[in-house]
Amino acid sequence: LDDLVGFFVNTLVLRADLTGDPTFTEVLDRVRAFDLAAYAHQDLPFERLVDALAPARAQDHHPLFQTMMVLQNQADTVLGLDGLTVTGQPVRTGISKFDLTFTFTETRDEAGRPTGLDGNLEFSTDLFDPATAHALAARLTRLLASLAADPDGRVRTAAFLDAAERAELDRAAPGPVRPVHARTAPEAFRAQAARTPGRIAVRAGSRQLTFAELDARSDDLAHHLHDRGVGRGDLVALAAEGTADRVVAMLAVAKAGAACLPVDLDYPEARVTHMLDDARPALFLVHDAA
């Protein structure tokens, strides 16, 4: 390390467990146990952790985590130079390394005893505007105050809204209660088909399908997919020419409980091969309208 210039800091990926409706005290105990276990292996380079876990890579976010927290708990150091007054100045690069970075610095009295924390929030302007970031910081402050005031209370009940925000919710809350039954997209389509079986659902040039026809054809294909072993959680690649056939196929895949990966066969062969190798669909459904 003699020829290297610091800064030597390793990143620890920490996870909080909020299952079971815990109190704040219970969360603190869980966080402490998890963090101590992480510190026991803190010498493992972050790059090796990423390589071992091999998370899905994307250019729009950092792998494994998107929120960084930094705690500066060392005593302040003063640089003394004869004839000069030296003060520290923050370095503002204008670049956010993560979606959100919270930096907390311990404040101390003249005797060196901790008196509190100063906080700083760095945020990505691609994701947050200044008003949203300020509101987030304010809510975090209120949340911490609420938890500290009642450490044995349930975390889910902690207050983080200010008076104006609560008043806005109170104004919006009154009104009739209309129950909304949760249902899947295929269930919602079947309900619509039952209400309007003869209405046109798909129109593509001179070809058209009623709701009843679309429901029946997609049912037939969904049963065929099921017979081929396609089920919930599977991925089906789809290359279908013609709008009507494509809609039938996509609805059938949804009815089978699978997800759809549209594939354009006009793509270069290498591109199609890469898509299929990367997605590894359970089935490749191809239909030529001709």
Helical (H) or strand (E) element with 125: none
Predicted TM-score (pTM) above 0.75: no
CA–CA distance, 207 with 1 (Å, rounded to integer)? 73
Identity of the residue numbered 12: L
pLDDT tens-digit readout, 6-36: 666 778 999 899 999 999 999 999 999 999 9
Residue 137's pLDDT is 95
Cβ neighbours of residue 22 under 8 Å, at least 6 residues apart?
30, 154, 155
Of 221, 230, 281, 210, nearest in space to 248 by CA: 221
pLDDT band for position 136 (50/70/90)? Answer: very high
- 204-209 average pLDDT score: 89
Q: What is the three-class DSSP state of 120?
A: strand
Structure tokens at 133: 């970031």
How big is the chain, counted in residues? 290
Pick left, alpha or beta for residue 71 (phi over 0 → left; psi -120 to 50 → alpha; otherwise beta).
beta
CA–CA distance, 27 with 38 (Å, rounded to integer)? 16
Give the right CATH number for 185-287 from 3.30.870.10, 3.30.499.10, 3.40.47.10, 3.40.50.980: 3.40.50.980
CA dihedral sign, ordered 193, 197, 199, 202? positive
Name which CATH class applies to 24-76+92-168.
alpha beta
Whether 24-76+92-168 shares its CATH topology with 185-287 is answered: no
pLDDT tens-digit readout, 234-283: 999 999 877 899 999 999 999 999 999 999 988 899 999 999 998 999 99
Strands (E), 171-234: 200-204, 207-210
Pairing of strands 100-108, 114-123: antiparallel
Structure tokens at 74: 């060392």
User: Per-residue pLDDT for 129 more than 70?
Assistant: yes
Domain extents in the chain? 24-76+92-168, 185-287
pLDDT band for position 194 (50/70/90)? Answer: very high
CA–CA distance, 74 with 244 (Å, rounded to integer)? 67
**Strands across the sheet with 259-262, in order?**
259-262, 235-240, 283-287
pLDDT tens-digit readout, 85-102: 888 787 788 888 899 999
CA–CA distance, 129 with 74 (Å, rounded to integer)? 32
CA–CA distance, 150 with 23 (Å, rounded to integer)? 9
